[in-house]
A = this chain, B = another copy of it.
Amino acid sequence: MAGKQNPELRRRELCDAAIVLLAREGIKGVTHLRVDRKAGVPDGTASFYFRTSSALVRAVANRIADLDLADLTAAIRATKCGAGPSPAAGLARLVIQSGTGARLVRSKARYELVMPASRDAGLAAAFSHNQQQFFELHRDVVLSLCPAGTDPVLIDEKSYALLTFISGLMLALARGDRTITSAGQLETIITSIVASVPAVSHREGVSAVDR
């Protein structure tokens, strides 16, 4: 029965159902049967596509990472040709959106998996796979805010600081903190973090690139 449908589509449906369970109850809420019921598919479907719970949770992590990357790419690069909001404005808007609606559900699900991933190499791989691209997208934001010719070491340092700040903010939003709710306010803070004084900040630089 499960074979009747496009398998790739069915896998995504199952992962999307698992994301909702994960956000609501944590990793203990994600079992094959509960995913079947949540997705409204016959019992046994999730087990058919993902043999073990570990395979199921890894597939969910991959789905989250792919959706996050697609959103971030669209927010930052869509308007590179000049029209529309700046990369910083695009990033700010996306981050604020991660605090509401379906994006909040996905964001909660992601942070449920961060610490389990530190104990499961397969799960960690799902997230680290896109990590370099996330860094480069934040680097695009930094480049758009810095004068041409800024030292690349400094650009990397600012990009790392921005990525780390955004990660802290998304965690805060995921756990319910609502200190920042305006994209305009966040854009100001992003600009401020990036627009730091080069003479002070340039001493050692960020060494590792593949994080």
A residues neighboring B (CB under 8 Å) = 24-28, 108, 111-112, 114-119, 124, 157-158, 160-161, 163-169, 171-172, 174-180, 182, 184-185, 188-189, 191-193, 195-197, 200-208, 211
CB distance from A57 to the nearest CB of B (A): 12
Nearest-CB residue, chain B, relative to A114 = B175
Copies in the complex: 2
Q: Helix, strand, loop or mixed for chain A's interface? A: helix
Quote the shortest CB–CB distance from A51 to chain B (angstroms).
21
Interface pair B115/A26, CB less than 8 Å apart: yes
Question: Which one of A108, A157, A164, A207 has the highest number of Cβ atoms from chain B below 10 Å of its Cβ?
Answer: A164
A111-B114 CB under 8 A given contacts A168-B169, A206-B180: yes
How far apart sit A105 and B25, CA to CA, in the bound complex (Å)?
A: 24
Residues of B contacting A114 with CB < 8 Å? 111, 171, 175
Q: Report chain B residues within 8 Å CB of A178.
A: 208
Q: How many whole Å from A146's CB to the nearest CB in chain B?
A: 12
Kindly state the separation between the CA atoms of A185 and B206 in the bound complex, as whole angstroms.
8
26 sample A-B contacts, Cβ–Cβ < 8 Å, listed by A number? A25-B119, A26-B115, A26-B116, A111-B114, A112-B115, A115-B175, A124-B176, A161-B192, A164-B168, A164-B169, A164-B172, A165-B165, A166-B168, A171-B171, A177-B211, A179-B208, A180-B206, A185-B203, A185-B204, A185-B206, A188-B203, A193-B193, A195-B196, A195-B201, A196-B196, A197-B197
Do residues B172 and A184 form an inter-chain contact, with CB atoms below 8 A? no
Chain B neighbourhood of A27, CB < 8 A: 26
Query: Which residues of chain B come closer than 8 Å to A167, judged between CB atoms?
Result: 168, 171-172
User: Contact at A195–B200, with CB atoms within 8 Å?
Assistant: yes
Q: How far is the CA of A116 from the CA of B174 in the complex (A)?
A: 11
B161 touches A165 (CB 8 A): yes
